[in-house]
Chains A and B, each alone.
Chain A
């Protein structure tokens, strides 16, 4: 199967979804590719078919609006579809996709990457214990399945997500054992001016905090989880008061949600040659892109959190900007929306990102036997030994110890390893880029990627002359 389109969009979250809606208005053939069963991305993840009915939330309403608009549009939406390789061939983008266990190709003149973000989880002793999930992972459980991570949960991490997760646990009938957040009240006071831009969200957040206080759930400001106890099941956490450098209370729990901000998913853009730069205020390494999505690579555009963590509102607005820009570049007359609303939304989003800037005091909770690379069970001591014997880049640690080469492809260790390299070699974080990304962009079964073929049809290159 091969399909040809004017525009292919990878990722059907707020950014990709709105880019599709904006571009399709000019009559272009648009294909939207996404690995979930329905559009919405992580933030507007759709309920599974197991939910017959449930009270609506602002997130489910926003997601439903996007899904309805897409369904009523001429956008071709390939859901449950993994894009595992992208190449440029004869002025066209060629995307390798896997859908229903079958591999096929999509061709498009222009490509928009709206690959969103993943979570940064600062490793802490015990973080690999079953029962410990990411904060973002918890939101996936809530939104898709309305399921709690356990009966009694410690919610720990930076930024606003920690309070959202705690309030959702309360809404779904669970118990919040404690909220443990490295952010102090002063950190929050510092972002107040930018928060005034989104008074509704501020009111919602204040309600979450007030509800937790009324429920008697301890909120440990300026604290971090320093250890998760339990072997095959989390049984509780030890905490650390970061300001005082003393031990905080220990808390019993059967589940722990951990997260320390978002990281843009840049692998696809990086693989296609978009230059990247280090900007902690945007979540770390970000690809170079204009507000309207243009990149130095011809025919390639970016939007949403995948090119810098600016939050859901900014992502949707940027999607609309980029969809219109691509349409204009393909010779269609498309409106040129103002940048102002996006800039305004981005200010708020970046203020939230600022609450999750890397913190040396969190990294200081690491121990030598702490597992940094979950896939290969590599400890901090393993990685340090590799760095101290000359591996001064993430690529070097990758080839030396396979860190970033396991099934997750480095998604949960590369930023931690880069920080450790910078620390050990005295270099700046901006001098330690992530490792070279290579296809497949997502793990795929080799048999399915290869598809059905006849051995006789395989081209055999001429043997090299002896």
Chain B
């Protein structure tokens, strides 16, 4: 099939894979990538539940504004879209 927009997927070289945990589960990600990116690739979309109706929520704005991707790292609430994946990163739910 003719493509006018080339598929670049095979030409992307990523950093080494590291394992971190999300809510106790081991998840693989690339060292230094946006945490949301690693979670999306692992098909982990529900990051928290809304405070009033407990509805599932996940990353939305991906630029540090909406706070939907809030997770806990080292006891501090952080945005998963502004957190980098590192080996042994421990991510918990809010």
A residues lining the B interface (CB < 8 Å): 35, 42, 48-55, 101, 118-119, 128-134, 136-138, 140-141, 144-150, 167, 170-173, 207-208, 210-211, 214-215, 231-233, 371, 374-377, 406-408, 411-412, 442-443, 445
Tell me which residues across on chain A come within 8 A of B34, comparing CB atoms.
48, 140-141, 144-145, 147
Contact of B62 among A134, A148, A233, A374 (CB under 8 A): A134
Residue in B52, B53, B63 whose Cβ sees the most chain A Cβ within 10 Å = B63
Tell me which residues across on chain B come within 8 A of A170, comparing CB atoms.
3, 5, 7
Interface membership of chain B positions 29-54, coded 1 if the CB is closer than 8 angstroms to chain A and 0 otherwise: 11111101100110001110011110
Contact of B67 among A118, A371, A408 (CB under 8 A): A408
Interface membership of chain B positions 41-83, coded 1 if the CB is closer than 8 angstroms to chain A and 0 otherwise: 1000111001111011111111111111010000011000110
The 6 closest A-B pairs by CB, nearest first: A130-B58, A173-B9, A49-B32, A137-B62, A50-B33, A145-B37
Do residues B36 and A141 form an inter-chain contact, with CB atoms below 8 A?
yes
Tell me which residues across on chain A come within 8 A of B8, comparing CB atoms.
54-55, 171-173
Residue in B2, B4, B41 whose Cβ sees the most chain A Cβ within 10 Å = B4
Q: Indicate whether A232 sits within 8 Å of B67 (C-beta atoms), given known contacts A133-B62, A214-B3, A445-B77.
A: no
> How many residues of B are in contact with the other chain, CB < 8 A?
53
- In whole angstroms, what is the CA distance A52 to B13 when docked? 5
Residue in B7, B9, B61 whose Cβ sees the most chain A Cβ within 10 Å = B61
Tell me which residues across on chain A come within 8 A of B77, comparing CB atoms.
445
Interface membership of chain B positions 1-18, coded 1 if the CB is closer than 8 angstroms to chain A and 0 otherwise: 111111111111111000
Tell me which residues across on chain A come within 8 A of B52, comparing CB atoms.
376-377
Do residues B40 and A138 form an inter-chain contact, with CB atoms below 8 A?
no
- In whole angstroms, what is the CA distance A55 to B15 when docked? 15
B residues lining the A interface (CB < 8 Å): 1-15, 29-34, 36-37, 40-41, 45-47, 50-53, 55-68, 70, 76-77, 81-82, 84-85
Contact of B63 among A101, A137, A148 (CB under 8 A): A137
Tell me which residues across on chain A come within 8 A of B65, comparing CB atoms.
118, 408, 411-412
Do residues A133 and B3 form an inter-chain contact, with CB atoms below 8 A?
no
Do residues A208 and B60 form an inter-chain contact, with CB atoms below 8 A?
no
Do residues B60 and A133 form an inter-chain contact, with CB atoms below 8 A?
yes
Q: Told that A48-B34, A141-B62, A215-B1 touch, could you supply 4 new A-B pairs with CB distance under 8 A?
A: A137-B60, A167-B5, A172-B7, A408-B65
Contact of A233 among B7, B41, B45 (CB under 8 A): B45
Tell me which residues across on chain A come within 8 A of B36, comparing CB atoms.
141, 145
Do residues A128 and B32 form an inter-chain contact, with CB atoms below 8 A?
no
Chain A to chain B contacts (Cβ below 8 Å), 24 pairs: A48-B34, A48-B84, A55-B11, A118-B63, A128-B57, A136-B62, A136-B63, A137-B59, A137-B62, A140-B63, A141-B37, A146-B14, A147-B33, A172-B8, A207-B4, A211-B3, A214-B3, A232-B45, A233-B45, A371-B55, A374-B57, A406-B67, A411-B66, A412-B66
Residue of B nearest to A206 (CB): B4
A3 CB, nearest partner CB in chain B, Å: 23
Tell me which residues across on chain A come within 8 A of B51, comparing CB atoms.
376-377
- In whole angstroms, what is the CA distance A425 to B29 when docked? 50
- In whole angstroms, what is the CA distance A137 to B2 when docked? 29
- In whole angstroms, what is the CA distance A51 to B32 when docked? 8
B55 CB, nearest partner CB in chain A, Å: 6
Tell me which residues across on chain A come within 8 A of B55, comparing CB atoms.
128, 371, 377
- In whole angstroms, what is the CA distance A119 to B81 when docked? 16
Do residues B63 and A214 form an inter-chain contact, with CB atoms below 8 A?
no
Tell me which residues across on chain B come within 8 A of A375, comparing CB atoms.
67
Tell me which residues across on chain B come within 8 A of A51, comparing CB atoms.
12-15
- In whole angstroms, what is the CA distance A231 to B66 when docked? 20
Residue in A42, A118, A130 whose Cβ sees the most chain B Cβ within 10 Å = A130
Do residues B62 and A140 form an inter-chain contact, with CB atoms below 8 A?
yes
Contact of B56 among A207, A215, A231 (CB under 8 A): A231
Tell me which residues across on chain B come within 8 A of A443, comparing CB atoms.
67
Tell me which residues across on chain A come within 8 A of B40, comparing CB atoms.
141, 147-150
Tell me which residues across on chain B come within 8 A of A50, comparing CB atoms.
14-15, 29-33, 37, 85
Tell me which residues across on chain A come within 8 A of B68, comparing CB atoms.
374
